[in-house]
Amino acid sequence: MNESPFDPVPSDEIFSRLKTVRKKMEDYHLDGIFLTHKPDIYYFAGTAQDCYLYIDREQPPVLFVKRYLPRAAAETSISDIVRIDSVKQIPGQLRRRLEKYPDRCGLAFDVVPARDYFFYSGIFRPAEFQDASSLIEACRSIKSSWEIEQMKKSALVSKKTFD
């Protein structure tokens, strides 16, 4: 029995979010987005494992999992899941999986430390990172009926806590 008052993110919710982000990627002229921040990964993949998510504008997204792959696979609707030992493996994996390696890749500059930005820039060469913070925020600001229901459940849990 599920002890959590919250439901896993449904597949149709994930696919709708991916459709929205891909449309916005076109507007920003991005080939892909590399997500490293757990709340963003959870929003677009439905899991908050120790992982990274690459969303290509045209190809299926790829979830790169560092720790417990079975749990990530159980939680996400993303079908392409790759076990990695190091983030350094991701560019090579993307080159093997994608028809075209990204020239312009989005990264959430608002949550990625400068040290990590320079690290990612080095391993993803020749891809050029662009700030995708506002694009991600614009996607996350749109609330579906499922999200509103989850917010109501969260409010009830908070009320019970304070009662």
Chunked in runs of 10, what are the mean pLDDT values of the chain (163 residues)? 63 96 96 97 93 96 93 93 96 92 96 97 96 96 89 88 86
Distance in angstroms (rounded) separating the CA atoms of residues 30 and 9:
26
Strand intervals (E) in 24-155: 32-35, 51-56, 62-65, 80-83, 104-107, 128-131
Distance in angstroms (rounded) separating the CA atoms of residues 9 and 6:
9
Nearest to 96 by CA among 74, 73, 118, 64: 64
Per-residue confidence (pLDDT) for residue 1, from 0 to 100: 40
Q: Hey, is 154 helix, strand or coil? A: helix
Per-residue confidence (pLDDT) for residue 6, from 0 to 100: 55
Per-residue confidence (pLDDT) for residue 68, from 0 to 100: 87
Per-residue confidence (pLDDT) for residue 59, from 0 to 100: 94
